[in-house]
Structures are given as C-alpha cells and as structure tokens.
C-alpha cells in the first residue's frame, strides 16, 4: 500500500476547520470547564491543535482503545488505558481522530457512563458515516469523508504515517 500524491485534506483546511470547531466548543461550553478526553494515539495531533485554539479552561485526559489491525477493524474494542481522573459530574468531550464504524466511540462512551458524567459529546476530526456499524454520530465534525482508508495528522497504517501534516488516502 502507498499514500496518494496529493492530500485529501490539506494542512491549511485542517487548521481552519479546527479554529471553527474551537469557536463552537467555546460557545457551547462557556463556563463549564470541560474535560477533553483524547483517544490515543490517533487523536493527539488534532487534540493538541484544538486545545490550543480553545479559550475555555479545559482539563486534558487520555484514553486508549484498540480496534484496528492494518486497514480492518478487529472483532472487539478494547480499552487498554483509561484516565485516572474522575469524570463524575464533568462535561466530557471525547476527542477522536475518526469515527468510522462508530464502535470505538460507542465503547468509550459506555465505559464513561459508569462514572455518571454531566454530559458526553464526541468531537472527531473525520467522520465516515458510510461505514457506521454502531449508532454513534459525532457532535462536532471536522470533515465528513467517503469510504477511504486515510492516514496523516495522527491517523496511521500499522503505526506509520501519523506525522504527515495533511490527510492522505491509502491506495
């Protein structure tokens, strides 16, 4: 497999959209001091840029869930590392790189609900609704894409290509 020569989504477009998402989150969470719960490892580039654009005070936590092997989702979603901080009565924004099948976001939300947060929202850089297998729709979406396997800006293929500054299609 190789990556496309031209990006599907250019760096400038990503940064502009992150700015817009941050403005919307600031408006929606004014005075609520949400927790940004960042899904590792894919969402960390997106989350870092988003957090730096926010004016609202936020707490940053991390969660690790594993569902992919190569280009295909595995049979189960495993939460391999969860935040130590309590989410009880907190406004949690789950930061995802991509909502594809929706199974990862659904599993994380189910895990979070046991702590009874005040609210849970999902903010995804990419949304791929054509592959949805679980009833999971992000509340904040950077870009909706077709059914491509994409890399870059944190998204990977077996751990590779995360560092690319734009989003590319694997061919």
Tell me the domains of the chain and their CATH numbers.
11-25+33-67+76-169 (3.40.50.2020)
Residue-level pLDDT at 147:
93
Known active-site residue 100: yes
Choice among 26, 49, 97, 100 that is catalytic: 100
Residue-level pLDDT at 59:
96
| 72, pLDDT greater than 80 | no
pTM, 2 dp: 0.91
**How far is residue 58 from each of residues 16, 28, 30, 153, 170, measured CA to CA in Å?**
21, 13, 11, 22, 34
d(CA 136, CA 133): 8
Cα 84 to the center of its chain, rounded Å: 20
Half-sphere exposure of 162 (CA within 13 A, CB side): 14
| 109, pLDDT greater than 80 | yes
């Amino acid at each position: 497999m190789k990556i496309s020569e031209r990006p599907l989504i250019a760096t400038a477009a990503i940064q502009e959209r992150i700015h817009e998402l941050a403005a919307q989150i600031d408006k929606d969470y004014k005075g609520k001091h949400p927790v940004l719960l960042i899904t590792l490892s894919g969402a960390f580039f997106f989350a870092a840029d988003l957090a730096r654009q926010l004016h609202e005070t936020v707490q940053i936590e991390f969660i690790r869930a594993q569902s992919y092997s190569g280009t295909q989702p595995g049979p189960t979603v495993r939460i391999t590392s969860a935040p130590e901080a309590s989410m009880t009565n907190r406004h949690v924004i789950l930061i995802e790189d991509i909502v594809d099948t929706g199974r990862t976001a659904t599993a994380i939300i189910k895990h979070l609900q046991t702590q009874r947060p005040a609210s849970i929202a999902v903010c995804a850089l990419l949304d791929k609704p054509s592959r949805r297998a679980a009833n999971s729709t992000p509340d904040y979406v950077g870009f909706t894409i077709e059914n491509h396997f994409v890399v870059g800006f944190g998204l990977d293929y077996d751990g590779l290509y995360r560092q690319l500054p734009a989003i590319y299609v694997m061919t």
